[in-house]
């Protein structure tokens, strides 16, 4: 008999023992973890700056660690020890992660995995703990049994002998999260981002589709505890649910108005956090829990991986905001003179266009990237917990969320705004302010836009004070990566919205973002290509839009259908670009070798109207905004 057979499935009554519900922590207790014997509670504050351990018998609280962001991804092993990961950002912007083990019986921590770049993740195995890194792996004993974990859009299952297999049980997912083996080791529970909660067998065959639930935990071999989010129309709010693998049970076990999140199961008890307040509660169910095997307190083993990366390469997690033309997407119908019709602007469209462009640009520059979505459907409108968890699983050095802004009122403005977690000038995660400043500096150099104010970098706690004390942006909450949300411009300013309808303009914003990211990682001199960008406007034809506020050159009509020819210093035609008919006049020439170029402007029956010289330097943008007059005569050529 293997040790996995020691798991016992209890009887199957399904209800909450209401008398058992109690509060374990009054505030700031996020991502609670309960020990296998139910005696210890592990938790973190929302900024992950410390890791706390509470003895539930005595009430004593101990600080396990309070440096280098030890919170959120910590676990308590079956051996009673705490396993956690800290991170340090180096001068080159790369993040290195160190794994630690804390023993409550001695009150001491020790390093079990030295700093390494990329993903470092503590995992529960059948009878031990694995800390999974990309260069080294730590096991709490010589034999820890089977376990599984997520890697991008794959599940990896490792058996008791150490042999692994890769599964892709759900197609078209944005990535897998929260994978775990059932107590009997025969089933895998996981969440496929954008697709829902699933159970499959060890060969990847789906045996249960449980719906839109997050952060699941096995209660026993047949029952699962998970959470729903506030945007889930079926489950109606953030609540903790009891689910059965066979689909027969699907019932909430927390009150509708409590905003319960982040559930975890151990010793037949369910612990969870009340969102925003951080109050941690515990309840018991009228279902017999699984009986856990005794986990030995062995000496840990470190294994160096043979196929480890040879070089530490900057890694960026890209989050194009929203997804699908849903209620949280900002839809603005726009009448376009050039096509004599209404064009429907959705922020999710331009966010994705920028995200795809940034991914391509960064990869061309030698970065590694991961992204929360590559398409634009309702299923791509991920929950904030999914986005944060995908970013953490990616082992990224920075988190970069792409949006555009809107005043929502009659007053119109247009400027680049970078938001990071924390107060103004006091980021919650080191490096976030530097990243925001670098990206916003380059965003403001865009001379195709008309800016009404200088660029800004703001802490989201300061910027959104009306939301509550230290509430801030959900996508930055619980995210301990250096990161930011880029509000590249204001799409309710009409000329800017017309520019955002142009894919080349979105590409240019992504290019400028890449320049800021280059500065952050001190890599601005490595890329050898440059860009030429500009607009074509009528010098003597003003806009007559009703009830529209306009600034600077945006008062002038843009030229639809202008033809631009680009020649290199040898006189060879390099590229041709035609401005679209969406009233923006935008042109962008990408990936140009450094050189002295000649740019020719044609309009109407292929007639030459202007010639300018443009000097392209590597990893820079050369701007040339051009003008036409209605009475201008074409040049000979």
Structure tokens at 562: 């202008």
**pLDDT tens digit string along 343-397?**
999 999 999 999 999 999 999 999 999 999 999 999 999 999 999 999 999 999 9
**How much of the chain, in percent, has pLDDT values that exceed 90?**
85
Q: Which residue shows structure tokens 């204001």?
A: 490
What mean pLDDT comes out for the span 236-249?
91
At 231, the pLDDT band (50, 70, 90 cuts) reads: low
292 shares its domain with 171? yes
Q: Which of 6-20, 229-243, 610-624 has the lowest mean pLDDT?
A: 6-20
481 shares its domain with 565? no
In terms of phi and psi (left: phi > 0; alpha: psi -120 to 50; beta: otherwise), the region of 408 is: left
| 3-state secondary structure at position 222 | coil
**pLDDT tens digit string along 468-509?**
899 999 999 999 999 999 999 999 999 999 999 999 999 999
289 shares its domain with 191? yes
In this prediction, residue 307 carries a pLDDT of 86
In this prediction, residue 22 carries a pLDDT of 94
- Give the CATH number for residue 450: 3.40.630.40
7 shares its domain with 74? yes
Q: Which of 385-394, 406-415, 555-564 has the lowest mean pLDDT?
A: 406-415
End-to-end CA distance of the chain: 88
442 shares its domain with 489? yes
Give me the DSSP letters along 193-261: TTTEEEEEETTS-EEEEEES-EEEEESSSSEEEEEE-TT-TTTTSSEEEEEETTSS-EEE-S-TTS-EE
Q: Domain count of the chain?
A: 3
Q: Give domain status of residue 308, yes or no.
A: no
Taking the C-alpha atoms of residue 562 and residue 581, their distance in angstroms, rounded to an integer, is 9
> What rounded mean pLDDT belongs to the chain?
93
Q: Which of 527, 542, 565 is the last residue of a domain?
A: 527
In this prediction, residue 13 carries a pLDDT of 44
- Give the CATH number for residue 629: 2.60.40.10
In this prediction, residue 387 carries a pLDDT of 96
Do 566 and 576 meet the contact criterion of CB atoms below 8 Å apart?
Answer: yes
Q: For the chain, how big is the Rg over CA atoms in Å? A: 27
At 234, the pLDDT band (50, 70, 90 cuts) reads: low
**pLDDT tens digit string along 592-609?**
999 999 999 999 988 999
Q: Give domain status of residue 573, yes or no.
A: yes
In this prediction, residue 235 carries a pLDDT of 58
On the 0-12 / 13-18 / 19+ scale of CB atoms within 10 A, 464 is: middle
- Full residue range of the structural domain in which residue 192 is found: 3-296
Give me the DSSP letters along 286-353: SSPPPPPPPPP-PPPEEEE-TT--SS---EEEEEES--SS-TTS-EEEEEETTTTEEEEEEHHHHHHH
Q: Give domain status of residue 406, yes or no.
A: yes
At 18, the pLDDT band (50, 70, 90 cuts) reads: low
Predicted confidence (pLDDT) at residue 232 exceeds the cutoff of 80: no
Q: Give domain status of residue 217, yes or no.
A: yes
271 shares its domain with 351? no
Structure tokens at 582: 């969406």
Q: Give domain status of residue 533, yes or no.
A: yes
In this prediction, residue 153 carries a pLDDT of 85
345 shares its domain with 475? yes
517 shares its domain with 540? no
- Any residues with CB less than 8 A from the CB of 522 and at least 6 apart, and which? 91, 92, 93
In this prediction, residue 230 carries a pLDDT of 63
Do 614 and 622 meet the contact criterion of CB atoms below 8 Å apart?
Answer: yes
517 shares its domain with 633? no
Q: Give domain status of residue 95, yes or no.
A: yes
Q: What is the dihedral of CA 487, 488, 494, 495, to 10 degrees?
A: 170
Taking the C-alpha atoms of residue 219 and residue 183, their distance in angstroms, rounded to an integer, is 9
| 3-state secondary structure at position 404 | strand
132 shares its domain with 267? yes
**pLDDT tens digit string along 316-340?**
999 999 999 998 898 999 999 999 9
What mean pLDDT comes out for the span 228-251?
82
Q: Give domain status of residue 301, yes or no.
A: no
What mean pLDDT comes out for the span 107-128?
96
- Give the CATH number for residue 167: 2.120.10.30
| Predicted TM-score of the model (pTM) | 0.95
In terms of phi and psi (left: phi > 0; alpha: psi -120 to 50; beta: otherwise), the region of 211 is: left
Q: Which of 527, 560, 587 is the last residue of a domain?
A: 527
Q: Give domain status of residue 306, yes or no.
A: no
481 shares its domain with 543? no
541 shares its domain with 605? yes
In this prediction, residue 155 carries a pLDDT of 94
At 452, the pLDDT band (50, 70, 90 cuts) reads: very high
Do 582 and 502 meet the contact criterion of CB atoms below 8 Å apart?
Answer: yes
What mean pLDDT comes out for the span 21-38?
95
Q: Which residues pair with 23 in a beta bridge?
A: 281
Q: Which of 503, 527, 551 is the last residue of a domain?
A: 527
Predicted confidence (pLDDT) at residue 410 exceeds the cutoff of 90: no
In this prediction, residue 14 carries a pLDDT of 59
Predicted confidence (pLDDT) at residue 3 exceeds the cutoff of 80: no
């Amino acid at each position: 008999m293997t040790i996995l057979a020691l798991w016992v499935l209890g009887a199957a009554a399904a209800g909450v023992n209401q008398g058992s519900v109690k509060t374990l922590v009054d505030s700031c207790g996020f991502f609670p973890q309960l020990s296998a014997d139910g005696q210890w509670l592990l938790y973190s504050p929302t900024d992950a700056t410390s890791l706390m351990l509470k003895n539930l018998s005595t009430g004593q609280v101990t600080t396990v660690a309070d440096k280098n962001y030890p919170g959120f991804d910590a676990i308590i092993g079956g051996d009673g020890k705490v396993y956690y990961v800290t991170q340090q950002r180096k001068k080159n912007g790369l993040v290195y992660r160190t794994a630690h083990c804390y023993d409550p019986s001695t009150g001491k921590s020790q390093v079990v995995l030295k700093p390494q770049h990329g993903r470092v993740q503590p995992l529960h195995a059948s009878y031990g703990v694995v800390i999974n890194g990309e260069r080294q792996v730590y096991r709490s004993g010589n034999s820890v049994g089977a376990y599984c974990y997520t890697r991008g859009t794959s599940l990896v299952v490792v058996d008791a002998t150490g042999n692994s297999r890769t599964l892709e049980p759900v197609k078209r997912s944005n990535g897998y999260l929260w994978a775990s083996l059932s107590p009997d080791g025969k089933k895998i529970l996981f969440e496929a981002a954008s697709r829902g909660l699933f159970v499959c067998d060890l060969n990847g065959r789906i045996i249960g589709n449980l719906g839109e639930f997050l952060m699941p935990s096995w209660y026993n071999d047949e029952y699962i505890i998970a959470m729903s989010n506030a945007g889930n129309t079926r489950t109606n709010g953030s609540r903790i649910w009891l689910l059965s693998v066979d689909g027969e049970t699907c019932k909430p076990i927390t009150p509708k108005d409590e905003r319960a999140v982040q559930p975890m199961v151990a010793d037949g008890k369910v612990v969870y956090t009340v969102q925003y307040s951080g109050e941690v509660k515990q309840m018991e169910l009228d279902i017999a829990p699984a009986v856990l095997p005794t986990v030995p307190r062995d000496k840990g083993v470190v294994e160096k991986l043979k196929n480890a990366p040879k070089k530490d390469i900057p890694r960026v997690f890209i989050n194009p905001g929203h997804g699908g033309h849903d209620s949280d997407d900002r839809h603005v119908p726009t009448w376009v003179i050039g096509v004599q019709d209404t064009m429907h602007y959705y922020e999710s469209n331009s966010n994705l266009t920028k995200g795809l462009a940034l991914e391509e640009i960064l990869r061309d520059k030698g970065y590694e990237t991961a992204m929360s979505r590559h398409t634009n459907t309702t299923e791509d409108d991920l929950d904030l917990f999914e986005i944060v968890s995908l970013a953490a699983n990616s082992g990224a050095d920075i988190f970069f969320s792409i949006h555009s802004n809107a005043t929502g009122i009659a007053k119109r403005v247009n400027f680049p705004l970078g938001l990071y977690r924390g107060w103004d000038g006091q980021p919650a995660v080191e490096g976030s302010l530097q990243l925001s400043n670098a990206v916003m500096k380059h965003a403001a150099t865009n001379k195709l836009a008309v800016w009404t104010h200088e660029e800004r970098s703001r802490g989201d706690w300061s910027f959104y004070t009306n939301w509550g004390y230290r509430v801030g942006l959900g996508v930055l909450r619980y995210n301990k990566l250096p990161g930011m949300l880029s509000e590249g411009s204001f799409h309710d300013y009409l000329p800017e919205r017309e520019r955002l309808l142009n894919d080349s303009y979105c590409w240019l914003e992504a290019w400028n973002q890449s320049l800021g990211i280059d500065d952050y990682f001190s890599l601005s001199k490595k890329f050898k290509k440059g860009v030429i960008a500009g607009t074509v406007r009528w010098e003597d034809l003003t806009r007559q839009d009703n009830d529209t506020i306009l600034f600077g050159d945006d008062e002038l009509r843009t030229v639809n259908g202008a033809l631009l020819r680009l020649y290199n210093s040898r006189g060879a035609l390099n590229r041709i670009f035609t401005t679209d008919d969406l009233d923006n006049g935008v042109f962008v020439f990408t990936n140009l070798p450094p050189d002295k170029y000649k740019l020719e402007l044609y309009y109407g029956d292929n007639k030459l109207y202007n010639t300018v010289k443009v000097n392209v330097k590597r990893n820079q943008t050369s701007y040339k905004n051009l003008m036409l007059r209605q009475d201008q005569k074409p040049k000979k050529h």
